[in-house]
Structure 1
Amino acid sequence: MKKIMAGIMLVAASAAGAYAQKGAKFEFKDKNDTYDFGTVKEGAKVVHVYEFKNAGDQPLQILRAEASCGCTTPEWTKTPVLPGKTGTIKVTFNTEGKAGPSIKEVTIQSNAVQADKSKERYVLTLKGTVTAK
């Protein structure tokens, strides 16, 4: 019985090693992909820079970053981020005409592997409240 159990454990360990994901991987500096900007007055521009490290073993390339509306603009590191190096995604939210609670998202398409296989894209979120002028 012990030999059978040892054999099963060996097979399981081998399978886990083979399953380990290889490729580029996002690791955000603050371990947080949501930024709460608190409360700002309408007309202000909220700017947040998400800093990330490529925690993978291959260069990470951001292919596209799309905002959920025209009031939000993403800018990102255009060159491949080598393993162990850092890059940034700067998001600017123009609050003009956007009074009230706000949640803005930027969807990132890249060559990074995701821990959750059901996700094909990575989403960054800005949230907070905009007070009327």
Structure 2
Amino acid sequence: MKIIKISILALTLGLMSFTINPNIKNESSKVVIASPLAWKAEVVEVGEIPQGTPKAIQFEFKNTSDKAVIITNVKPACGCTAADYTKEPIAPGKTGFVKATYNAAAAGSFTKTVTVTTSAEETPKVLTFKGTVVVKA
């Protein structure tokens, strides 16, 4: 009798693992929200730049929402990059910018990022620029 109870318990527990699948997602319940900012480019290839000559990279965007957008924070990933950006609210249909200036002190290839936080999105936007710093002849 004890063996039958244990067998039934084991069978029940084994079947339960097949009936509950947490990885199943209801695809019809996904909601896609368009970004309120249309970036001209999120990745910029700057090519070769001379060592010691700062390079400015400008990322432009358009406010496609129906509300003004404010850039609340711009954070370069390292101290080798300075950032500037549109300080005033960007009205619907208008454009704004984020400018990253890379100091190009170290020779070699690089990939750098700037993280932009706005009033329009909860998730910050990561902008990337890359290239190669070449030694001056």
Q: CA RMSD in A?
A: 2.1
TM-score by length of 2: 0.71
Larger Rg: 2
- Distance in 2 separating the partners of 1:44 and 1:57: 40
Deviations 1:78-109 (A, max 9, x none): 1110111111111100011x111101100001
- Distance in 2 separating the partners of 1:102 and 1:113: 28
Deviations 1:60-90 (A, max 9, x none): 1110000011110110001110111111111
2:60 aligned residue (51, 70, 78):
51
- Give me the identity figure in percent: 35
Deviations 1:47-70 (A, max 9, x none): 111111001111111100000111
2:48 aligned residue (11, 34, 39):
39
User: Which structure 2 segments of 5+ residues have no match?
Assistant: 1-27
User: Which structure 1 segments of 5+ residues have no match?
Assistant: 1-11, 115-119
TM-score by length of 1: 0.73
The aligned counterpart of 2:117 is 109
Count the aligned residue pairs: 109
